[in-house]
């Protein structure tokens, strides 16, 4: 989440940023926050880590033209809106004027950072407070507060004013959720929202004796030394569960049955280590793993356990996940919920499932879910489908024939439902068998899912080509992926045994988008002026050369390890993308 917020801000603002070397002094905003906050996140902003950011792959990429290009895209989009809407709707024109101010507002936030905290005191009745502190955004050239005031004025919101100590508070809302904001000592912009009155929340800040900055949890978070961090936070799971147990009679027992009370806190750190952005998320599990936590197996896997991946694979992930365990956990969850709503009735669920299976002639428990092994792999390849269309999901299985038989029984059972006009078509392919599930319609058969069981794996995909590729590689008819020197180097800092791994290369996606951009803009430049007279064409030469733009990037790697008491998820990335 943090990486995407940071990336979105920097992409828009990098060209406008003043690349100063002196980091601003941080405001100790945590003194304003309650010590019992169950959720806390802080991002320091770019200025405090300017030198580290400039050395990173992302920083170099943005500074060498990509940032300027993306900023020009934003400006062009705003100009296009203004040209097409402004003359027709004066109110829309005013809104577009404010839209132009967004880069400057985000620029200030990106430079100085933000703090977020939540304290949930009770659920029944609802009593919760949330804090957003934009550190440094009220200081020199602060644009956030004026922007908020303009937006609320334009919307005609019934903003009220109040004085609390030296604070001039703006607030609105007299319902269950209230919002307030103010300038804190000429440095920070504070936004509060929740069930409490904003004025009361502001007074509590002055009266608070136990604040977050003085808590043991906060000191422990700050003591992290593995690498310099620019973002950190925690989620106090036990604290949230304690409140959640009071929501209704039996809620506490439900949480116990689900195994959630065995969870400890979650902590998060992120920062730059040379060219890579590193992040570590740790989940403490001091108690017994049962219920949902039983899904978190300690069994380790290795790269040598992977099935044959495409030689041009762009991303893949593998874990020790067992689909059968998910089924068992799902039954436990359902039993726990039933017992909460109707005490003593949850134990009958398994018998009802068996009756259901017998009625439709299927055996989900033994033939299907009972036949999965402890490994799951997903991957995508540009040669097997555009973007994510070439993706495939592979589950390790013990008995292929039983799995195929169970799948056929499930599909035959579905056919008995009204409107479920499905057909399963089988095709022999290079020693394997590919099954395509299609929905029969008046206009023809519509593909729904392609699947196969081959050499110990159940394969699911949108298209037949990824499964064809799997079969060909299994037979040695196509080359399979091997870790390159670049990937091997990236893996050097991680344990060789892990519970899950994910590797993705952002370069193919970025290069594809940048290579398509000039052609797309040329088409737009020839069409838009005819639709909107006077429309300025976009300068396609502003698009950076695709190969040059990605030259600092490298594969992103995420590895999960499990000691039995703590799960650690560590990432080293050059550019985190949604796909």
40 strand-pairing partners: 117, 234
pLDDT value at residue 107: 84
- The strand ranges marked E within 388-443 are 392-397, 422-429, 432-441
pLDDT value at residue 23: 34
363 has pLDDT over 90: no
pLDDT value at residue 345: 67
pLDDT value at residue 387: 63
13 has pLDDT over 50: no
User: What length is written for the chain?
Assistant: 579
pLDDT value at residue 14: 44
Q: How confident is the model at residue 342 (pLDDT cuts 50, 70, 90)?
A: confident
SS3 524: helix
Please report which residue ranges of 223-282 form alpha helices under DSSP H: 237-244, 251-257
pLDDT value at residue 446: 79
Q: How confident is the model at residue 552 (pLDDT cuts 50, 70, 90)?
A: very high
Most confident range, picked from 84-98, 188-202, 379-393: 188-202
Most confident range, picked from 7-16, 31-40, 366-375: 31-40
Alpha carbons 506 and 523: distance in angstroms, whole number? 26
Pick the closest to residue 189 from 198, 180, 197 (CA basis): 180
Task: Find the helix packing angle between 102-112 and 2-13, rounded to 10°.
Answer: 120
Under 8 Å CB-to-CB from 493, ≥6 apart: which residues?
572
Under 8 Å CB-to-CB from 126, ≥6 apart: which residues?
176, 195
Lowest-pLDDT choice from 58-72, 172-186, 279-293, 382-396? 382-396
Lowest-pLDDT choice from 8-22, 495-509, 536-550? 8-22
Most confident range, picked from 15-24, 339-348, 510-519, 531-540: 510-519
Alpha carbons 457 and 480: distance in angstroms, whole number? 16
Mean pLDDT, residues 79-95 taken together:
69
565 has pLDDT over 90: yes
pLDDT digits (tens, 9 = 90+) for 491-508: 888 888 899 999 999 998
The answer to whether residues 16 and 238 touch, using CB atoms and an 8 Å cutoff, is: no
pLDDT value at residue 579: 45
pLDDT value at residue 87: 61
Mean pLDDT, residues 15-25 taken together:
37
pLDDT value at residue 100: 77
578 has pLDDT over 50: yes
Of residues 224 and 386, more confidence is placed in 224
pLDDT value at residue 9: 42
Mean pLDDT, residues 503-514 taken together:
91
pLDDT digits (tens, 9 = 90+) for 467-488: 999 999 999 999 999 998 888 8
The answer to whether residues 402 and 367 touch, using CB atoms and an 8 Å cutoff, is: yes
Pick the closest to residue 198 from 147, 150, 160 (CA basis): 160
SS3 120: strand
Q: How confident is the model at residue 295 (pLDDT cuts 50, 70, 90)?
A: confident
SS3 236: coil
What are 134's two structure tokens? 């934009």
Mean pLDDT for all residues in the chain: 85
Under 8 Å CB-to-CB from 444, ≥6 apart: which residues?
none
162 has pLDDT over 80: yes
Under 8 Å CB-to-CB from 447, ≥6 apart: which residues?
436, 437, 438, 462, 463
pLDDT value at residue 16: 40
Mean pLDDT, residues 349-357 taken together:
80
Q: How confident is the model at residue 25 (pLDDT cuts 50, 70, 90)?
A: very low
pLDDT value at residue 92: 67
Q: How confident is the model at residue 248 (pLDDT cuts 50, 70, 90)?
A: confident
1 has pLDDT over 60: no
24 has pLDDT over 60: no
Torsion of Cα atoms, 100 then 66 then 107 then 278, to 10°: 150
The answer to whether residues 292 and 333 touch, using CB atoms and an 8 Å cutoff, is: yes
269 has pLDDT over 50: yes
Q: How confident is the model at residue 86 (pLDDT cuts 50, 70, 90)?
A: low
Please report which residue ranges of 416-502 form alpha helices under DSSP H: 464-474, 485-491
Q: How confident is the model at residue 6 (pLDDT cuts 50, 70, 90)?
A: very low
Lowest-pLDDT choice from 89-93, 264-268, 498-502? 89-93
pLDDT value at residue 209: 84
Alpha carbons 319 and 500: distance in angstroms, whole number? 4
β-pairing verdict for 500-504 and 556-562: antiparallel
20 has pLDDT over 70: no
Mean pLDDT, residues 558-565 taken together:
94
Under 8 Å CB-to-CB from 361, ≥6 apart: which residues?
409, 412, 413
Q: How confident is the model at residue 551 (pLDDT cuts 50, 70, 90)?
A: very high
Alpha carbons 558 and 145: distance in angstroms, whole number? 38
The answer to whether residues 470 and 392 touch, using CB atoms and an 8 Å cutoff, is: yes
258 has pLDDT over 90: no
pTM of the model: 0.87
Pick the closest to residue 367 from 352, 356, 377, 357 (CA basis): 357
Phi, psi (deg, nearest 5) at residue 462:
-75, -30
The answer to whether residues 311 and 382 touch, using CB atoms and an 8 Å cutoff, is: no
395 has pLDDT over 90: yes
SS3 527: helix
Q: How confident is the model at residue 212 (pLDDT cuts 50, 70, 90)?
A: very high
465 has pLDDT over 80: yes
Lowest-pLDDT choice from 141-150, 300-309, 379-388? 379-388
pLDDT value at residue 529: 78
7 has pLDDT over 90: no
């Amino acid at each position: 989440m943090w990486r995407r917020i940071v990336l979105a801000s920097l992409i828009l603002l990098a060209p406008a940023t003043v690349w100063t070397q002196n980091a601003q002094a941080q405001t100790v905003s945590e003194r304003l926050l309650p010590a019992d906050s169950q959720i806390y996140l802080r991002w320091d902003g770019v200025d405090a880590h300017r030198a580290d950011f400039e050395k990173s792959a992302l920083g170099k990429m943005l500074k060498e033209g990509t940032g300027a290009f993306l900023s020009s895209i934003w400006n062009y989009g705003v100009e296009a809106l203004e040209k097409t809407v402004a003359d027709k709707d004066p109110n829309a024109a005013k809104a577009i004027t404010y839209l132009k101010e967004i880069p400057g507002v985000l620029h200030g936030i990106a430079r100085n950072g933000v703090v977020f905290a939540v304290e949930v005191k009770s659920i029944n009745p609802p009593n919760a407070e949330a804090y957003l502190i934009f550190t440094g955004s009220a200081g020199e050239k602060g644009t956030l507060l004026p922007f908020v005031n303009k937006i609320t004025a334009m919307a005609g919101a019934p903003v009220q004013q109040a004085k609390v100590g030296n604070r001039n508070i703006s607030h609105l809302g007299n319902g269950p959720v209230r919002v307030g904001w103010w300038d804190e000592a000429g440095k920070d912009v504070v936004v509060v929202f929740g069930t409490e009155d904003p004025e009361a929340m502001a007074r509590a800040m002055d009266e608070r004796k136990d604040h977050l900055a003085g808590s043991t949890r906060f000191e422990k978070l700050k003591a992290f030394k593995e690498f310099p961090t620019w973002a950190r936070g925690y989620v106090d799971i036990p604290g949230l569960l304690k409140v959640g147990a009071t929501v209704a009679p039996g809620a506490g027992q439900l949480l116990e049955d689900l195994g959630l009370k065995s969870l400890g806190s979650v902590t998060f750190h992120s920062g730059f280590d040379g060219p890579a952005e590193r992040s570590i998320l740790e989940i403490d599990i001091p108690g017994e793993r049962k219920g949902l936590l039983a899904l978190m197996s300690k069994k380790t896997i290795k790269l040598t356990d992977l099935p044959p991946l495409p030689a041009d694979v762009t991303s893949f992930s593998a874990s020790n996940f067992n689909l059968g365990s998910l089924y068992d956990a799902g039954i436990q969850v359902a039993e726990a919920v039933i017992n909460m709503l109707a005490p003593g009735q949850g134990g009958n669920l398994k018998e009802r499932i068996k009756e259901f299976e017998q009625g439709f002639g299927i055996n989900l428990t033994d033939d299907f879910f009972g036949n999965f092994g402890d490994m799951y792999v997903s991957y995508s390849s540009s040669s097997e489908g555009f973007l994510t269309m070439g993706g495939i999901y592979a589950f390790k299985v013990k008995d292929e024939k039983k799995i195929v038989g169970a799948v056929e029984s499930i599909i035959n059972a579905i056919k008995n439902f009204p409107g479920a006009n499905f057909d399963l078509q089988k095709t022999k392919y290079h020693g394997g068998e590919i099954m395509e599930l299609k929905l029969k319609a008046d206009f023809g058969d519509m593909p729904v899912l392609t699947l196969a069981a081959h050499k110990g794996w159940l394969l699911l995909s949108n298209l037949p080509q990824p499964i064809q590729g799997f079969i060909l590689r299994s037979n040695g008819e196509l080359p399979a992926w091997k870790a390159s020197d670049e990937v091997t180097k990236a893996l050097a800092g991680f344990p060789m045994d892990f519970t899950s791994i994910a590797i993705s290369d952002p370069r193919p996606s970025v290069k594809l988008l940048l290579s398509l951009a000039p052609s797309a803009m040329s088409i737009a430049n020839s069409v838009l002026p005819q639709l909107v007279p006077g429309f300025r064409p976009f300068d396609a030469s502003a698009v950076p050369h695709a190969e040059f733009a990605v030259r600092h990037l490298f594969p992103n790697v995420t590895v999960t390890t499990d000691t039995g008491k703590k799960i650690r998820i560590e990432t080293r990335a050059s550019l985190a993308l949604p796909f």
